[in-house]
Amino acid sequence: MRTLLIGNTSYVTETFIQESFPQGEVFIFGDSDLDAGQKQNLTVVRPEQSPFNLTEILEAYDFEQVVFFSDHLSYKNPSAQSLVVLQEFLSILAAGKVSISKFLYLTGPQLQSKFPGLQELEADLLETLTEQPYKILHLPYLFSNWEQEAYFAKLLSQAQLRGRLEFAESEEQPALFIKLEALSSLVYRILDSWDYQVETLAWRPSAPATFGDLAAFLQKEEVLADLEVHFRGQEQELYQDLRGPRLTERYQWSEPAAILDLPVVAGLQTAEQMALPLKATSSPWMDGLVLLVGAFVAQGLQLLVAQQSFALSLSFPLLYLVLVAQARGIKKGFLALGLVVFLQLLLAQGQAMSLLSSAAFWIQLLAYVLATALAGYLQMQSLDRQAALQAEQAALLREHQALQENYRHVLEDRQSLRYQILSERGGFGYFATLFNRLAQAPGKTLFTEALSQLDTKIQAQKMGIYRFDQGLVTAHLVAAIQEGMPEKMDLSVLPRVATRIQEGSAWVNVDLLAGYPSYAISIKPFGQVTYLLWIEGVDFQHMNLQESQQIEFFVQLLAFFLEREETGRRLGRVAGKE
């Protein structure tokens, strides 16, 4: 039996294939880290590297069963790639080009939501299969590794950057994560006992772990043990209740014993740990022994030179003190100095008092002290420079991580914008609603309706539309939905805004300048700057790329309706004259 795996196949492992499809051939068409190699029952084709599309592959192979992995198996995944693949696959089936016996659609947990999203859109597409039996299986979110999962990669990178674990979820929210291998037996039993009925099945652990348990699991790692944990509770997800008999009873399947069976976190360092200099690992007793041996050697060499009457002006004890102070610091240098003086007195053979009373001894001791102090001072300067370089390196690392996080946010915003465009909730449905509302609001009500629609997407304190006088310097209020908007706007006191508007572009107060608006955007019907959209009090921490692009789209759409309104008035005047 030939099986095709398509969609979000990055979670598929060799263990899952062996246990879910013990007999027959398996064909993966999607992203995968697997390599077919010498395995005769496995073929891996990555779409971006293949000259063949899905239609050609389905027609070339006689697949009996297809297992589809939805993007909603990944937690916080705004991607719509699986929707595109599902549409293509269903269109192939609808065209009658291929025929399959079993179609199993794997997706994430069912969420309670007032608005339809991509998961519901994919389910609606499946309902178009009138002659093809299929089953929908709702599962917990799948987990592969800490680096591949965007949610966990972001969580751990922020922990490295900020020195704390911060969850947007609440502590009590269920953490529905599981490895695909734990579900291989369930997939095998569903396909093996296929009854050719259209069904929606679901499984969740009877006692799921929470995000509090997840935080406790992460803090078992030594590098994360001392980090603070914060639960903001801003992104609470509610899951629909399970209906019908439990799959454990229907398919005689045993739930995984460990619900939170996740791999160990490895290779992490917090910002504080990366900035710390290396500490000496040797014990104080070992340091003292090394210093004593060095002092003996230096004093012995000095006595040997004195007895042999070598013509050497080198002082071995002085050299020894300089080396110790330079290598181990000023404290160890003066400790070595004490050892040298003690050995000199010990080896004086009863002449210690006469040695202490001689001026040459004290001059020599003063030279030792000065040399040790100078070498120790140079060593401290070197350590200070090293610490400064380490601090600079840590700052650069934090900046690099911040840039990585910002880049990840940009990618998330781009995916989120794609999600909004494809989904019924915030994309096409919103734009279609906006178009219809503006089309039904002629005259002066056009501005008020436009601001009302924009207010549903952007939480701003004040918004208003102004009409420019000649010169693009002063403008008068046309419409506002909040109180407190000034009737007249003088851009001469806001030169930065005036410059941007006169250029026909937009002003964005990214520097949070006092007295300036958050956004000021020109509206250009017939290509001429005629109106001004004025927005104040926007929280930039919650403003993303998607919302900024929605403002630009809104302005262009409003200009279109203003052009239509003006064209209608002109045609009316022409008809009146005739």
The whole-angstrom separation of Cα 119 and Cα 114 is 13
Amino acid at 410: V
Residue 145: per-residue pLDDT: 72
47 shares a domain with 166: yes
Give residue 443's region: left, alpha or beta (phi > 0; psi -120 to 50): left
Instruction: Choose among 14, 4, 250: nearest CA to 103.
Output: 4
Question: Does 292 lie in the same domain as 183?
Answer: no
User: Does one domain contain both 216 and 156?
Assistant: yes
pLDDT in tens, 348-407: 766 777 777 777 777 777 777 877 777 777 777 777 787 778 777 777 776 776 676 666
Amino acid identity at 71: D
Residue whose token pair is 């799921």: 208
pLDDT of 271: 44
What distance lies between CA 18 and its chain's CA centroid? Answer: 33
The pair of structure tokens assigned to 212 is: 């509090």
Residue 184: which domain range? Answer: 2-263
292 in the same domain as 434: no
pLDDT at 422 over 60: no
With 90 as the cut, is the pLDDT of residue 485 above it? no
Mean pLDDT of the region 239-250: 75
Any idea what the CATH number is for the domain that residue 516 is in?
3.30.450.40
CA distance 170 to 237: 9
Give per-residue pLDDT as tens, 500-538: 887 777 878 777 777 788 888 888 887 777 888 888 877
Q: Is residue 182 part of a domain?
A: yes
Q: Say yes or no: 318 and 359 in one domain.
A: yes
Query: 312: left (phi > 0), else alpha (psi -120 to 50), else beta?
Result: beta
What is the helix (H) or strand (E) element at residue 106, kind and residue range? Answer: strand 102-107
- Which of the four pLDDT bands, split at 50, 70 and 90, describes residue 231? confident
In a domain, 268, yes or no: no
Whose tokens are 């007295």? That residue is 515
Residue 60 has pLDDT above 70, yes or no: yes
Q: Are residues 337 and 482 in the same domain?
A: no
CATH of the domain at 89: 3.40.50.720
Q: What is the pLDDT of residue 394?
A: 72
Higher pLDDT residue, 464 or 358?
464
Whether residues 56 and 155 fall in one domain: yes
Q: Is 31 domain-assigned? A: yes
Comparing CA positions, the residue from 385, 414, 445, 371 lying closest to residue 544 is 414
Are 321 and 185 contained in the same domain? no
Q: Same domain for 130 and 182?
A: yes
Q: Give one DSSP letter per residue of 144-184, joined into a string.
A: --TTTSHHHHHHHHHHHHHSEEEESS-TTSB--EE-GGGGH
Residue 277 covered by a domain: no
Residue 534's DSSP bridge partners are 464, 520
Question: Do 215 and 311 share a domain, yes or no?
Answer: no
How many domains does one find in the chain? Answer: 3
Q: How confident is the model at residue 52 (pLDDT cuts 50, 70, 90)?
A: confident
Confidence of residue 105 (pLDDT cuts 50, 70, 90): very high
Q: Which pLDDT does position 136 carry in this prediction? A: 92
297 falls within a domain: yes
Predicted pLDDT at 573: 58
Amino acid (1-letter code) at residue 539: D
Q: What is d(CA 319, CA 336) in angstroms, rounded to the nearest whole number?
A: 11
CA torsion through residues 360, 361, 364, 366, sign: negative
* Domain-located, residue 478: yes
pLDDT at 409: 59
Helix or strand or coil: residue 529? Answer: coil
Give domain status of residue 371, yes or no.
yes
Residues 440 and 551 in one domain: yes
Indicate whether 443 and 363 sit together in one domain: no
- Cα 297 to the chain's mean position, in Å? 59
Q: Identify whether 406 is part of a domain.
A: no
